[in-house]
Structure 1
Amino acid sequence: MPRIAILVETSLASGRQILAGISHFLKQRNDISVFHHSGQLGQMHPDSLIDWQGDGIIARVVDASVAKLLIETGLPTVDVLGNVPDCGFPLVKTNNDTIGSIVAEHFIQNGFHHFGLIGLGKENWSLEREAAFFKSANEISTTPHSLHLKSTDSEIVHISHSLAAIRDWLPKLPKPIGVLVTSDQFAPLLFQAAHELELRIPEDISIVGVDNDAPYCDLCRPALSSVDPNHEEVGYQAARLLEGLLTGAVTHPQNITVRPHMIHLRRSSSFLAVNDPQLSKAMEFIRIKACKGISVDEIAQHCGLSRSVLQRRFRSQINRSVGDCILNEKLTRAKELIYAGNLSMNHIAELSGLNSQEYMSQVFRKHLHQSPKEFKARLPHTFSTHSAQIE
């Protein structure tokens, strides 16, 4: 029976989700022995394997020293972090470029012209999300506003340091601003600093995190919007890859990136950054009524504007037509319903206002470059091999 060790922390949702993906793969095999103990990322160290005799390892390789120790074991190892890109291990990781881009797109669609980020300055995954975020945001603003915390800032002894840094940073930002937090674990500190400074969320600072870590998202007031990076698929693909290395089925492993799912939109990023009360009223009306069926004329009447004036204001202030905004609301609702599961595609099309499965499929293919069924296949617990992309 093959014996594998898993060096993945359990203190954060990302690690637990990777473990869930590995577990799902192992349930399909039932012939692999696993060594793992819970703990924080820094505690998941190769030294814990001193008395262990095994065949392969799945690990979040945090730095070069850990990579060196893993190399010295001589065992096939799959990295699920990507902090040491030149270590030579096969790598399975989230698509951080896509994560950064979709958050920037969300803020742009909400009319923001200023963009900020809180991340970790020495973590590749965070820096990749940052680069993609500001690259996409550069279409609107060329001035990035970033704050790099230390990797240890999530530890209790350093919380006061990072809170002070955030408190000093926030007053310097233009308002309103959309801020990406590259890991949900730092979001409560941002919320605390904003509340202390009497800054409004989301009116002054609109916030989106990454990991969709429910405890962190729900602890924030208002609740935190967050991207689901699809870490479970990372774990599943890593276990699949390691099995291939152990059996000889994989002889030339390549890096694999896993597409994220979606932004789970909550109140922290619900604000539309427009200085036009009638336009804000129109967007709120669209959010409430789009899936039930509304026309541009109904929206214009609700806001006390002519149809032509309404269209011009949408184009000039948020660079989208009224129809685009209505369709985006329907598409977002359809994705949420698919994510919730258990509904037929016809029912989802009806509830989201897309009316038919055929039209919904057209909308998905045009805007997401995949069918609704393909979108569903890439959601958690499906572990579709198609959601992994070889580099």
Structure 2
Amino acid sequence: MAKLKHVLLLIESSRAYGRDCLLGVADYLRAHGGWHVLNIERGLSEQLPKAIARWKGDGVLARIENARIAAAIQAFGVPTVDLRGSYPPPGGAIFDSDHAAIGQMAAEHFLDVGFTKLAFCGFPGVGFSEQRGAAFCEHLSARDIKTHVYEPQNQRLMPTDVLGWEARGEFEGATIASWLKGLPRPLAVFACNDIRGRQVIEACHQFGIAVPDEVAVVGVDDDEVICELSSPPLSSIRPNAQKLGFEGAAMLDGLMRGKKPPAAPILVPPAGISRRLSSDALAIKDTDVAAAIRFIREHACEGIGVPTLLQKLPLSRSSLERRFKVAVGRTPTAEIERVRMERAKLLLAETNNSLKNVARLTGYGTASQFATAFKRYAEMTPGQFRERNGRQSD
């Protein structure tokens, strides 16, 4: 019987992102086994216990937050996989969320519901925030849309880490509100993470700005506790941290068996957006088109078509299609397909439903019809999409 490998886990359990990474590791262990795990319960950037220096093992799976922790891990002299991307372990591997894809997803989400006035609120100097914000702004710039970016006051006293920024942000309400009041509305704000998103919503609440009617907000991480503590609850992009943990564990297993590490970081795309009340707004002046979009959102997966819409609206087909194209840049038929496909992506990534069930739940007659439509829309088969984006199972 092969000897169990001793693996040290240094992944914070204080946030949903870290807990999902740990769940991904657990998924891998259920499927493959072969490890004895030492899991150090810790918060983000929490100092390692001194006794850990005496640990002897075969590999480390970590989210390395600072140079001190990076040095302590390097001293072990064993294969290491980092799941954060800030401090590459020498001779090891790096996994991280695809922050550019997250920023692009936020931009597309707001454009899909008709926003043309957009803004970003992040943490200057923090890697993931800078990457998400840059991708958001670049994606919109390619559409000739200017993005407003929050610039904190007293920049000489800016924190250097996430926790420092999050703490400072709790006292920035007046500054954030003043920035928002100077921008055109209706406005959509992309926040670099859920805590920043909650801070934007709180600033709006304190200073009389209606969310989502005047300002819609989307964060990142889909931390249910943080999102539900916001008022209204915060919409959030879901990084696929569980997949990241699973793939990171698989990589560490290979490194401990003598495989060479990859030359470049491995980036995991986000799984989707959890829509809550903070972004439940339509920035469309045409009330008939707005009504059509609301109806599509509610009923697209029932297999409706344009004739069903026309029964609900006092418009001819040509008038609806012309006004729809002006308001959102696509036809009603394309919007119905988009809503159905976004639902299909969520079902493929987050559940183990068969293609037959996914087809039924998204309004397609058969699995074959669904698979053909999905490949045309996503330029990959449902199976390929699920492999790239789905949660791992044992």
Q: CA deviation at 1:309?
A: 1.9
Identity %: 30
CA distance 1:26–1:291, change in 2 (3 Å): closer
**8 A contact 2:269–2:389 mirrored in 1:** no
What's the counterpart of residue 77 of structure 1?
80
Partners of 1:252 and 1:283 in 2: CA distance: 45
What's the counterpart of residue 103 of structure 1?
106
Q: In terms of mean alpha carbon deviation, does 327-336 or 294-303 score higher?
A: 294-303
What's the counterpart of residue 53 of structure 1?
56
Question: How do residues 1-391 of structure 1 correspond to structure 2 at under 5 angstroms?
Answer: 1-45=4-48, 49-84=52-87, 89-147=92-150, 150=159, 151-153=161-163, 158-250=168-260, 254-338=264-348, 341=351, 343-378=353-388, 381-382=391-392
Q: CA deviation at 1:91?
A: 0.4
**8 A contact 1:67–1:87 mirrored in 2:** no
Q: CA deviation at 1:333?
A: 2.9
Amino acid at match of 2:379: H
Provide, for residues 23-54 of structure 1, a one-character-per-residue CA deviation record: whole Å limited to 9, x for no partner: 22233343322222222211154856223222
Partners of 2:344 and 2:368 in 1: CA distance: 13
Q: CA deviation at 1:319?
A: 0.7
Q: How many residues align?
A: 384
CA distance 1:36–1:214, change in 2 (3 Å): same
Provide, for residues 282-340 of structure 1, a one-character-per-residue CA deviation record: whole Å limited to 9, x for no partner: 21122223233434344245332222222111111211111111111222333344456
Q: In terms of mean alpha carbon deviation, does 281-290 or 316-325 score higher?
A: 281-290
Amino acid at match of 1:106: H
Partners of 1:15 and 1:217 in 2: CA distance: 16
Partners of 1:369 and 1:147 in 2: CA distance: 36
- Please report the TM-score for the alignment, with normalisation by the length of structure 1: 0.88
**8 A contact 1:121–1:127 mirrored in 2:** yes
Provide, for residues 9-32 of structure 1, a one-character-per-residue CA deviation record: whole Å limited to 9, x for no partner: 111111111111122223334332
**8 A contact 1:226–1:265 mirrored in 2:** yes
**8 A contact 1:46–1:66 mirrored in 2:** no
**8 A contact 1:81–1:125 mirrored in 2:** no
**8 A contact 1:46–1:69 mirrored in 2:** no
Q: Secondary structure at the match of 2:93?
A: coil
- Please report the TM-score for the alignment, with normalisation by the length of structure 2: 0.87
Q: CA deviation at 1:218?
A: 2.1
Partners of 2:97 and 2:51 in 1: CA distance: 26
Amino acid at match of 1:270: D
Q: Secondary structure at the match of 2:54?
A: coil
Unaligned runs of 5+ residues in structure 2 are 153-158
Partners of 2:340 and 2:262 in 1: CA distance: 43
Provide, for residues 101-133 of structure 1, a one-character-per-residue CA deviation record: whole Å limited to 9, x for no partner: 111111111111122122222222222211211
**8 A contact 2:80–2:89 mirrored in 1:** no
Q: CA deviation at 1:342?
A: 5.5
CA distance 1:279–1:92, change in 2 (3 Å): same
What's the counterpart of residue 155 of structure 2?
none
Q: Secondary structure at the match of 1:366?
A: helix
